[in-house]
Amino acid sequence: MLGACLGSFANVCIYRLPRNKQIISGRSFCPKCKKKINWYDNLPLISFIILQRKCRNCKKIISVRYFTVELIIGIIFLLIYLNFRDIFTITFLSILALILIMIFFIDLENFIIPDCLNFSIMGLALLKNFLPNFGTSLTHQMSQSIIGGIIGYLSIWLIIFLYKAFKKIDGMGLGDAKLMAGIGFLFGWQSIPFVLFVSSILGLIFVIPSLIKKKKNMRTEIPFGPFIILACLIYFAYGSQLYDLILV
Protein backbone atom coordinates (compact mmCIF):
# COMPACT_ATOMS: atom_id res chain seq x y z
CA MET A 1 0.00 0.00 0.00
CA LEU A 2 2.82 2.39 0.88
CA GLY A 3 4.56 1.57 -2.41
CA ALA A 4 1.39 2.24 -4.42
CA CYS A 5 0.87 5.58 -2.61
CA LEU A 6 4.46 6.63 -3.26
CA GLY A 7 3.96 5.41 -6.83
CA SER A 8 1.25 8.06 -7.12
CA PHE A 9 3.79 10.66 -5.98
CA ALA A 10 6.31 9.25 -8.47
CA ASN A 11 3.76 9.83 -11.25
CA VAL A 12 3.53 13.48 -10.21
CA CYS A 13 7.33 13.77 -10.43
CA ILE A 14 7.45 11.94 -13.78
CA TYR A 15 5.00 14.44 -15.27
CA ARG A 16 6.19 17.64 -13.58
CA LEU A 17 9.99 17.42 -13.32
CA PRO A 18 10.66 17.51 -17.11
CA ARG A 19 8.31 20.52 -17.31
CA ASN A 20 10.04 22.35 -14.42
CA LYS A 21 6.84 22.39 -12.35
CA GLN A 22 6.58 22.26 -8.56
CA ILE A 23 6.21 18.70 -7.27
CA ILE A 24 5.24 19.50 -3.66
CA SER A 25 2.67 22.27 -3.97
CA GLY A 26 -0.40 22.16 -6.16
CA ARG A 27 -3.06 19.46 -6.38
CA SER A 28 -3.04 16.76 -9.02
CA PHE A 29 -4.81 17.60 -12.26
CA CYS A 30 -5.79 15.87 -15.48
CA PRO A 31 -3.03 16.40 -18.09
CA LYS A 32 -5.70 16.62 -20.82
CA CYS A 33 -8.35 19.04 -19.48
CA LYS A 34 -6.17 20.51 -16.65
CA LYS A 35 -9.02 20.26 -14.12
CA LYS A 36 -8.09 19.36 -10.55
CA ILE A 37 -8.65 15.75 -9.52
CA ASN A 38 -10.79 15.05 -6.45
CA TRP A 39 -9.22 12.93 -3.71
CA TYR A 40 -11.62 10.04 -4.33
CA ASP A 41 -10.51 9.96 -7.98
CA ASN A 42 -6.85 9.90 -6.97
CA LEU A 43 -6.68 6.65 -4.99
CA PRO A 44 -3.66 4.60 -6.12
CA LEU A 45 -4.62 1.74 -8.48
CA ILE A 46 -8.26 1.73 -7.34
CA SER A 47 -9.40 4.97 -9.01
CA PHE A 48 -7.81 3.98 -12.33
CA ILE A 49 -9.86 0.77 -12.37
CA ILE A 50 -13.10 2.37 -11.17
CA LEU A 51 -12.87 5.20 -13.73
CA GLN A 52 -11.99 2.68 -16.47
CA ARG A 53 -8.92 4.68 -17.54
CA LYS A 54 -10.93 7.85 -18.15
CA CYS A 55 -10.90 11.31 -16.57
CA ARG A 56 -14.20 11.95 -14.75
CA ASN A 57 -14.37 15.48 -16.19
CA CYS A 58 -13.29 15.28 -19.83
CA LYS A 59 -13.75 11.51 -20.34
CA LYS A 60 -10.42 11.28 -22.17
CA ILE A 61 -8.20 8.23 -21.77
CA ILE A 62 -5.66 8.33 -18.92
CA SER A 63 -2.23 6.92 -19.74
CA VAL A 64 -1.70 3.36 -18.50
CA ARG A 65 1.67 4.59 -17.19
CA TYR A 66 -0.04 5.95 -14.05
CA PHE A 67 -1.38 2.52 -13.11
CA THR A 68 1.84 0.76 -14.17
CA VAL A 69 4.12 2.95 -12.02
CA GLU A 70 1.92 2.53 -8.93
CA LEU A 71 1.75 -1.24 -9.42
CA ILE A 72 5.49 -1.67 -10.08
CA ILE A 73 6.54 0.39 -7.06
CA GLY A 74 3.98 -1.42 -4.88
CA ILE A 75 5.43 -4.80 -5.95
CA ILE A 76 9.03 -3.63 -5.51
CA PHE A 77 8.35 -2.33 -1.99
CA LEU A 78 6.72 -5.66 -1.12
CA LEU A 79 9.69 -7.66 -2.49
CA ILE A 80 12.15 -5.49 -0.55
CA TYR A 81 10.13 -5.95 2.65
CA LEU A 82 9.95 -9.74 2.17
CA ASN A 83 13.66 -10.18 1.40
CA PHE A 84 15.27 -7.86 3.95
CA ARG A 85 14.76 -7.44 7.68
CA ASP A 86 17.01 -4.50 8.62
CA ILE A 87 15.09 -1.19 8.69
CA PHE A 88 18.06 0.73 7.22
CA THR A 89 18.27 -1.66 4.27
CA ILE A 90 14.51 -1.59 3.61
CA THR A 91 14.35 2.21 3.80
CA PHE A 92 17.45 2.76 1.67
CA LEU A 93 16.48 0.30 -1.08
CA SER A 94 12.89 1.59 -1.17
CA ILE A 95 14.00 5.21 -1.67
CA LEU A 96 16.57 4.13 -4.26
CA ALA A 97 13.97 2.08 -6.16
CA LEU A 98 11.54 5.01 -6.14
CA ILE A 99 14.13 7.36 -7.70
CA LEU A 100 15.23 4.80 -10.30
CA ILE A 101 11.63 4.19 -11.40
CA MET A 102 11.16 7.96 -11.82
CA ILE A 103 14.31 8.14 -13.98
CA PHE A 104 13.20 5.10 -16.00
CA PHE A 105 9.87 6.60 -17.06
CA ILE A 106 11.04 10.22 -17.39
CA ASP A 107 13.82 9.19 -19.77
CA LEU A 108 11.50 6.80 -21.60
CA GLU A 109 8.97 9.57 -22.27
CA ASN A 110 11.13 12.71 -22.49
CA PHE A 111 14.68 11.53 -23.36
CA ILE A 112 16.13 13.44 -20.39
CA ILE A 113 17.24 12.59 -16.85
CA PRO A 114 16.77 15.46 -14.37
CA ASP A 115 19.94 16.36 -12.46
CA CYS A 116 18.03 16.43 -9.17
CA LEU A 117 17.33 12.68 -9.50
CA ASN A 118 20.86 11.78 -10.58
CA PHE A 119 22.36 13.80 -7.73
CA SER A 120 19.91 12.17 -5.31
CA ILE A 121 21.26 8.75 -6.30
CA MET A 122 24.85 9.96 -5.82
CA GLY A 123 23.96 11.40 -2.41
CA LEU A 124 22.28 8.15 -1.32
CA ALA A 125 25.22 6.12 -2.62
CA LEU A 126 27.70 8.12 -0.54
CA LEU A 127 25.42 8.06 2.52
CA LYS A 128 25.25 4.27 2.30
CA ASN A 129 28.95 4.03 3.17
CA PHE A 130 28.14 5.33 6.67
CA LEU A 131 25.31 2.82 7.25
CA PRO A 132 25.60 -0.82 8.38
CA ASN A 133 26.53 -3.30 5.65
CA PHE A 134 23.37 -4.36 3.81
CA GLY A 135 24.65 -7.77 2.75
CA THR A 136 23.98 -6.92 -0.91
CA SER A 137 26.15 -6.27 -3.96
CA LEU A 138 26.31 -2.59 -2.97
CA THR A 139 29.80 -1.45 -1.98
CA HIS A 140 30.36 -0.01 1.49
CA GLN A 141 33.92 1.21 0.93
CA MET A 142 34.22 4.95 0.32
CA SER A 143 37.31 4.56 -1.89
CA GLN A 144 35.59 1.93 -4.08
CA SER A 145 32.50 4.12 -4.27
CA ILE A 146 34.39 7.24 -5.39
CA ILE A 147 36.51 5.35 -7.94
CA GLY A 148 33.33 3.69 -9.25
CA GLY A 149 31.61 7.06 -9.64
CA ILE A 150 34.54 8.53 -11.57
CA ILE A 151 34.87 5.50 -13.87
CA GLY A 152 31.11 5.35 -14.37
CA TYR A 153 30.96 8.98 -15.49
CA LEU A 154 34.05 8.74 -17.70
CA SER A 155 32.81 5.55 -19.41
CA ILE A 156 29.84 7.42 -20.91
CA TRP A 157 31.65 10.75 -21.31
CA LEU A 158 34.32 9.03 -23.41
CA ILE A 159 31.65 7.51 -25.69
CA ILE A 160 30.03 10.95 -26.08
CA PHE A 161 33.41 12.58 -26.83
CA LEU A 162 34.52 9.97 -29.39
CA TYR A 163 31.13 9.84 -31.12
CA LYS A 164 31.06 13.61 -31.48
CA ALA A 165 34.66 13.67 -32.70
CA PHE A 166 33.95 11.18 -35.49
CA LYS A 167 30.28 11.82 -36.32
CA LYS A 168 30.11 15.55 -35.42
CA ILE A 169 26.84 14.98 -33.50
CA ASP A 170 25.94 14.13 -29.90
CA GLY A 171 25.43 10.38 -29.49
CA MET A 172 24.31 10.42 -25.84
CA GLY A 173 23.47 12.91 -23.12
CA LEU A 174 25.39 13.78 -19.99
CA GLY A 175 22.36 12.63 -17.98
CA ASP A 176 23.36 9.06 -18.85
CA ALA A 177 26.93 9.79 -17.72
CA LYS A 178 25.68 11.11 -14.37
CA LEU A 179 23.43 8.08 -13.97
CA MET A 180 26.40 5.77 -14.59
CA ALA A 181 28.35 7.78 -12.01
CA GLY A 182 25.54 7.08 -9.54
CA ILE A 183 25.71 3.35 -10.39
CA GLY A 184 29.48 3.43 -9.81
CA PHE A 185 28.99 5.15 -6.45
CA LEU A 186 26.49 2.43 -5.49
CA PHE A 187 28.29 -0.71 -6.62
CA GLY A 188 31.94 0.27 -7.14
CA TRP A 189 34.01 0.24 -10.31
CA GLN A 190 33.60 -3.53 -10.83
CA SER A 191 29.96 -2.99 -11.80
CA ILE A 192 30.66 -0.56 -14.64
CA PRO A 193 31.81 -3.02 -17.38
CA PHE A 194 28.87 -5.33 -16.61
CA VAL A 195 26.21 -2.60 -16.50
CA LEU A 196 27.57 -0.88 -19.62
CA PHE A 197 27.74 -4.15 -21.59
CA VAL A 198 24.32 -5.48 -20.53
CA SER A 199 22.58 -2.11 -21.03
CA SER A 200 24.05 -1.90 -24.54
CA ILE A 201 22.79 -5.40 -25.36
CA LEU A 202 19.32 -4.57 -24.01
CA GLY A 203 19.25 -1.34 -26.02
CA LEU A 204 20.25 -3.23 -29.15
CA ILE A 205 17.53 -5.86 -28.61
CA PHE A 206 15.00 -3.04 -28.15
CA VAL A 207 15.93 -1.15 -31.33
CA ILE A 208 16.62 -4.04 -33.77
CA PRO A 209 12.93 -4.76 -34.62
CA SER A 210 12.37 -1.06 -35.42
CA LEU A 211 15.50 -0.99 -37.60
CA ILE A 212 14.32 -4.06 -39.51
CA LYS A 213 10.88 -2.50 -40.07
CA LYS A 214 12.62 0.80 -40.95
CA LYS A 215 10.64 2.67 -38.29
CA LYS A 216 13.96 3.89 -36.85
CA ASN A 217 17.40 4.48 -38.29
CA MET A 218 20.89 4.57 -36.75
CA ARG A 219 20.45 8.27 -35.93
CA THR A 220 17.08 7.90 -34.22
CA GLU A 221 17.18 9.02 -30.61
CA ILE A 222 16.44 6.32 -28.03
CA PRO A 223 16.45 6.62 -24.23
CA PHE A 224 19.45 4.79 -22.73
CA GLY A 225 18.66 5.42 -19.06
CA PRO A 226 16.00 2.66 -18.81
CA PHE A 227 18.49 0.08 -20.10
CA ILE A 228 21.14 1.23 -17.61
CA ILE A 229 18.57 0.80 -14.82
CA LEU A 230 17.54 -2.68 -16.01
CA ALA A 231 21.21 -3.72 -16.20
CA CYS A 232 21.73 -2.24 -12.72
CA LEU A 233 18.83 -4.35 -11.40
CA ILE A 234 20.34 -7.50 -12.95
CA TYR A 235 23.70 -6.67 -11.37
CA PHE A 236 22.08 -6.06 -7.98
CA ALA A 237 20.33 -9.44 -8.09
CA TYR A 238 22.89 -11.63 -9.85
CA GLY A 239 26.09 -9.60 -10.34
CA SER A 240 28.30 -11.46 -7.87
CA GLN A 241 27.18 -14.89 -9.14
CA LEU A 242 27.75 -13.87 -12.77
CA TYR A 243 31.23 -12.55 -11.99
CA ASP A 244 32.07 -15.80 -10.15
CA LEU A 245 30.95 -17.70 -13.24
CA ILE A 246 33.17 -15.58 -15.50
CA LEU A 247 36.21 -15.88 -13.23
CA VAL A 248 35.96 -19.68 -12.84
Position 156 confidence tier, pLDDT thresholds 50, 70, 90: very high
| CB contact set of 126 (below 8 Å; sequence gap of 6+) | 142, 145, 185
**Average model confidence (pLDDT) across the chain:** 88
Q: Give the chain's end-to-end CA distance (angstroms, integer).
A: 43
Q: What is the pTM of this model?
A: 0.90
pLDDT band, very low/low/confident/very high, at 212 (cuts 50, 70, 90) = confident
How many CA atoms does the CB half-sphere of 231 hold within 13 Å? Answer: 24
Q: Report the candidate in 31, 4, 188 with the shortest Cα–Cα distance to residue 109.
A: 31
Q: How far apart are CA 234 and CA 217, in angstroms?
A: 28
Q: Is the dihedral of CA 161, 119, 238, 104 positive or negative?
A: negative
Q: What is the pLDDT of residues 117-129, one digit of tens each?
A: 999 999 999 999 8
Centroid of chain to Cα 233: 10
pLDDT at 123 (0 to 100)? 95
Instruction: State residue 176's pLDDT score.
Output: 94
Which pLDDT tens digit goes with each residue over 34-93? 888 888 888 889 989 998 888 888 888 989 999 999 999 999 999 999 999 889 999 999
β-sheet bridge partners, residue 29: 36
pLDDT at residue 248 tops 70: no
Q: Are 129 and 186 in contact (CB under 8 A)?
A: no
> Residue 105 and residue 34: Cα distance in Å, rounded?
21
According to DSSP, residue 24 is labeled: S
